[in-house]
């Protein structure tokens, strides 16, 4: 994978086949679940063009989403709900979503690479990789699966909760989203532990 990161490509000590990458999407939004994906790529059937999902166009992400699912040895998509985010905080919810994704792989990995600098609590041999979605193909693939899944869900939630602009900003705290909260109020999909939502609830 070509990397646009200023950091060097990550070199893993594990040299076997069952290497999983895991990443999450959706820590920052005010609404919706945090979604994670885990992917074991097939070294004999590589996916070209993998990169940090945020740096790819929507069209490219959608195409890669299908190709990853077709070519990967195993993949899984999991989540932590809005309720869990509010109960245990977004950091722990993100770790929980990643743990669930890896546990749901049909092939259990021998080694896991985790995007970021924190390891979920699990029994897997693993390492963390800062900016891993720019440096490790399996993590990039996981970031794409997670982002496309979450973005699609936010488009559907926009139909269920019109007026908030969820299809556009995907739940992130844009000016339009904050204004919609003030005008329309808090919905069941909003994270009540996040400050902008808390402030709105305090006014009710």
Question: Residues at the annotated binding site for a divalent metal cation?
Answer: 23-24, 115
Please report, in range form, the residues annotated as the binding site.
23-24, 115
Q: Are 102 and 109 in contact (CB under 8 A)?
A: yes
Please state, in angstroms and rounded to a whole number, the distance separating the CA atoms of residues 21 and 88: 24
Reference 134, options 46, 28, 21; nearest CA is 21
Q: Which two tokens stand for residue 27?
A: 């820590």
Q: Are strands 74-80 and 34-40 parallel, antiparallel or unpaired?
A: antiparallel
Burial of 75: CB neighbours in 10 Å, binned 0-12, 13-18, 19+: buried
Strand order in 111-115's β-sheet?
Answer: 74-80, 34-40, 19-25, 111-115, 126-129
């Amino acid at each position: 994978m070509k990397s646009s990161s200023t950091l060097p490509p990550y070199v893993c000590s594990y040299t076997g086949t069952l290497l999983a990458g895991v990443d999450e999407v959706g820590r920052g939004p005010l609404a919706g679940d945090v979604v994670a994906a885990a992917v074991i790529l097939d070294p004999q059937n590589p996916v070209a063009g993998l990169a940090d999902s945020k740096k790819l166009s929507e069209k490219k992400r959608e195409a890669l989403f299908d190709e990853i699912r077709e070519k990967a040895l195993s993949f899984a998509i999991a989540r932590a709900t809005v309720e869990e985010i509010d109960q245990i905080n977004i950091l722990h919810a993100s770790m929980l979503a990643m743990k669930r994704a890896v546990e749901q792989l049909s092939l259990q990995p021998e080694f896991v690479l985790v995007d970021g600098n924190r390891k979920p609590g699990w029994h897997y041999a693993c390492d963390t990789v800062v900016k891993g979605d720019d440096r490790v193909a399996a993590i990039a693939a996981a970031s794409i699966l997670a982002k496309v899944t979450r973005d699609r869900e936010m488009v559907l939630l926009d139909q269920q909760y019109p007026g908030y602009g969820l299809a556009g900003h995907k739940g992130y705290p844009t000016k339009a989203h904050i204004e919609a909260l003030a005008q329309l109020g808090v919905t069941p999909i909003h994270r009540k532990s996040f400050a902008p939502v808390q402030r709105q609830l305090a006014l009710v």
